[in-house]
Amino acid sequence: MNDANVQVLVIGAGVTGIGAAYHLQANGLAYRILEATGNVGGVWARHRWHGARCDSDFIKYSFSFKPHLSPQCLQRSDQIRRYLHEVATEFGILPRIRFRTRVEKAVFDEDRKEWIVQTSRGRFVAQFLVNGNGYWAEPHVPAFAQADRFRGEILHTADLDRGRTFPNRNVVLVGSGSTAICCAPELARVSKSLVLLQRSPSYIYETTDRADALTLGCQALYRLGIRFPVKLLRYYLQCKDDAIFVGFRKFPRVARWIFRRHWLARVEPETLLRHFTPRYDPWQERPSLAIGLGDALRSGRIAIKTGEISRFTESSIVLADGEEIPCNTCVLATGLRLDLLKFDLYIGTAKRSLAGLNFYKRIMLGGVPNYFHPFGTVHSAWTQSLEPAIRLAIRIMTYMKKNGLRAVAIERKDVNFTPAIMPGYMKRHLQELPKPYGTFELPAIDNLVSYRFDPRAYRFS
């Protein structure tokens, strides 16, 4: 394909980029994907730490046009990479990806009504820009007092590969979010000892990786060519996710009771009170899914501690209450920085930031023409909101093509925005985020009513 003839440039060959590519070509829109690395997969290509996985049922997280069939309801990062590569190969997307092409600057030419994109491998031009560059940036590494005294190794999970083992190392894993909870049982298997050190407790729900009978039955019918049950299953799972999200936030006392009952059968009451009783209500932050954590705690393969890190010594971590934890390897599961825009964005000669911009239906930003930034849901499977947003963008593009229009934009305006959840990475970067509106933030409802195309909502020229 001649790059000069594409209508759409897609940035990133992760879940968003691959999903966008499928729907673009299904609707006859010429595109090219620009990928900064040498692989498909996006965040799933970069996360290689022990236990890295998707914490949503993968039959629901996978694309609607190619649901992933497996006896496992959750999938590891390497399995997700293989799935995305399989999708890109099967649907002819792979040859349309320009690998090792990092976008550095994108300028919308207001006269020609097109995007001029400067990359590490030259210039690309297209009428539309679809940004799927992800929202994670470099690791968030807190500053710890006297860390320079520590004679052992301090590394972040972003720099950890599951191939590494620590057979002669006493490892302390710092964190309480999904990364720490997924990593701990797997890292404990390859370490001499492991302490999970959390600053404060978070909500954790232990589950199994085995798909239930309903999921297995729907998958069996799909293999026989009867595909409607899988479609219903995906919708049912989304309805369940949304109902739990709304219900737990509406009735936090009931939710707290459910989590207490869940862990009373797995840990001692004192452990439950000290290490599994958060200070906040359920679903103010996303709960973590654990596999094997309870067994590892009971067997002693993992010890759990709760407290603030006061300082490092040459061979230990000292907590604020004076407790000293010996270790010679410290792994930080302290999250990543948010960065929704990894290149300079210009409208004419004016540089734009996403901070504070109105973000219509998680797809278009106020005052940014011919630019689509598909964004999934934060409390459930990313793709459940991603695909409807992409399909809306394509309806806009095809409408413009049919009517000979060159530009589309959303009016810039102030909107009220309160995040549905407030994890640490959002608290740290709240002022840098755009402000979504126009949806219920519940995919089970939004996918039916919120992504309908109404030309009156947009400014065309």
Task: Report CA dihedral (11, 17, 20, 22) to the nearest 10 degrees.
Answer: 120
- Residues 6 or more apart in contact with residue 436 via CB below 8 angstroms: 359, 361, 362, 375, 417
Give the lowest-confidence range in 114-118, 171-175, 366-370, 373-377.
Answer: 373-377
Contact between 89 and 201 under an 8 Å Cβ cutoff? The reply is: no
Give the pLDDT confidence score for residue 2 in this predicted structure. Answer: 55
The CB-side HSE value for 294 (13 A sphere, CA atoms) comes to: 17
Give the pLDDT confidence score for residue 361 in this predicted structure. Answer: 95
Check whether 289 has a pLDDT greater than 90.
Answer: yes
Give the pLDDT confidence score for residue 136 in this predicted structure. Answer: 84
Give the pLDDT confidence score for residue 3 in this predicted structure. Answer: 64
Place of tokens 């459910």: 258
Q: Is 154 helix (H, G, I), strand (E, B) or coil?
A: strand
Q: What are the DSSP E strand ranges found in 292-443?
A: 302-306, 309-312, 316-319, 324-326, 329-332, 336-338, 344-347, 350-352, 358-360, 364-365, 371-372, 408-409, 435-437
Which pairs with CB-CB distance under 8 Å and at least 24 residues apart come from 225-232?
230/59, 230/67, 231/64
Mean of pLDDT values over 291-316: 96
Q: Do domains 3-138+337-460 and 141-208+252-334 have the same CATH topology?
A: yes
Cα-Cα-Cα-Cα dihedral sign, residues 340, 342, 347, 353: positive
Check whether 1 has a pLDDT greater than 70.
Answer: no
Q: Tell me: the pLDDT tens digits for 419-436?
A: 878 777 777 878 888 999
pLDDT band at 51 (very low <50, low <70, confident <90, very high): very high
Q: Tell me: the pLDDT tens digits for 350-378?
A: 999 999 999 999 999 999 999 999 988 88
Check whether 82 has a pLDDT greater than 90.
Answer: yes
Element (H, E) at 239: helix 228-250
For β-strands 128-131 and 371-372, DSSP reports them as parallel
For β-strands 302-306 and 191-198, DSSP reports them as parallel
Element (H, E) at 139: strand 136-139
Cα-Cα-Cα-Cα dihedral sign, residues 99, 105, 111, 113: positive
What average pLDDT does the structure give for the chain?
Answer: 95
One-letter identity of residue 162? R
User: What is the reported pTM?
Assistant: 0.94
Check whether 140 has a pLDDT greater than 70.
Answer: yes
Give the pLDDT confidence score for residue 379 in this predicted structure. Answer: 86
pLDDT band at 4 (very low <50, low <70, confident <90, very high): low
Give the pLDDT confidence score for residue 405 in this predicted structure. Answer: 97
- Residues 6 or more apart in contact with residue 60 via CB below 8 angstroms: 233, 234, 237, 238, 380, 381, 383, 384
pLDDT band at 391 (very low <50, low <70, confident <90, very high): very high
Task: Report CA dihedral (373, 377, 378, 381) to the nearest 10 degrees.
Answer: -120
Compute CA distances 74 → 40, 56, 58, 382, whole Å: 20, 6, 5, 14
What proportion of the chain, given as a percentage, has pLDDT over 90? 90
Q: How many CB atoms lie within 10 A of CB 39?
A: 17
Mean of pLDDT values over 75-92: 97
Q: Tell me: the pLDDT tens digits for 308-329?
A: 999 999 999 999 999 999 999 9
Q: Is 2 helix (H, G, I), strand (E, B) or coil?
A: coil
Mean of pLDDT values over 135-162: 94
CATH number assigned to the domain covering 141-208+252-334: 3.50.50.60
Mean of pLDDT values over 6-12: 96
Task: Kindly list the domain boundaries of the chain, sorted by start residue.
Answer: 3-138+337-460, 141-208+252-334
Give the pLDDT confidence score for residue 443 in this predicted structure. Answer: 94
Compute CA distances 329 → 193, 194, 318, 336, whole Å: 10, 10, 14, 20
Query: In the CATH scheme, what is the homologous superfamily, with its name and number, of domain 3-138+337-460?
Result: FAD/NAD(P)-binding domain (3.50.50.60)
Mean of pLDDT values over 112-140: 95
Contact between 159 and 401 under an 8 Å Cβ cutoff? The reply is: no
